[in-house]
Amino acid sequence: MTIHREGRTLLFILLIVLFGLNWAVSYFFPSQLVVHNILIGVSIVFYLIILQFFRIPIFQIKKNENQVLAPADGKVVVIEETDEPEYLKSRRKQVSIFMSPINVHINRMPVSGTISYAKYHPGKYLVAWHPKSSTENERTTLVAKMNSGTEILFRQIAGALARRIKWYVKEGQPLQQGDEFGFIKFGSRVDIFLPLSAKVSVKIGDITKGGKTVIAEF
């Protein structure tokens, strides 16, 4: 496991702040051992929660052109047929994954392909599971065109806490299944739009692992 570059500065600053806070309490209130011990425990737990949020699990991606991998760790909250009006402009199967603050927040390519569309949209910060979050929240829309010609659209959506979406790809860039394409901080959602012919392999409430869980097959 390694630490994502998006979290290194924050984690360093947080370590200094927590160390300074604990030192100040022990220095100015030396007799309050119980309070100091509680503060130390809370500080350690809090730091570990933030640390695990920015972790990068190391594992081997099992690529398969007939499968769609989960783009993120989280929980499946939406599976439905819907219209995708921004780029595909057609009826699609939508699978949405909610990423809580304790999930790994790396976003991975669900399929191998070339980025045929990439656009950032400023917007609101509704809670990520809100039905309107996919059209009204801050978000990015990315589309990968597979070797077969099939296009898969996936969308990073900011939540009430996630106010920084990062994406590392541009139109025309080829990427492999499981490659990192972005990162969202502190709670968010990823929508993926599949052809109607795709067979969805997950159900509402399932827990996904980005780059591991098969969410659909062709």
What span, in angstroms and rounded, lies between the C-alpha atoms of 94 and 56?
A: 27
In 3D space, the residue among 74, 90, 71 whose CA is nearest the CA of residue 82 turns out to be 90
Catalytic residue among 90, 188, 197, 201: 188
What span, in angstroms and rounded, lies between the C-alpha atoms of 188 and 210?
A: 14
Backbone angles phi, psi at 36, to 5 degrees: -65, -45
**Is 188 designated active site?**
yes
What span, in angstroms and rounded, lies between the C-alpha atoms of 133 and 137?
A: 5
**Residues belonging to the active site:** 188
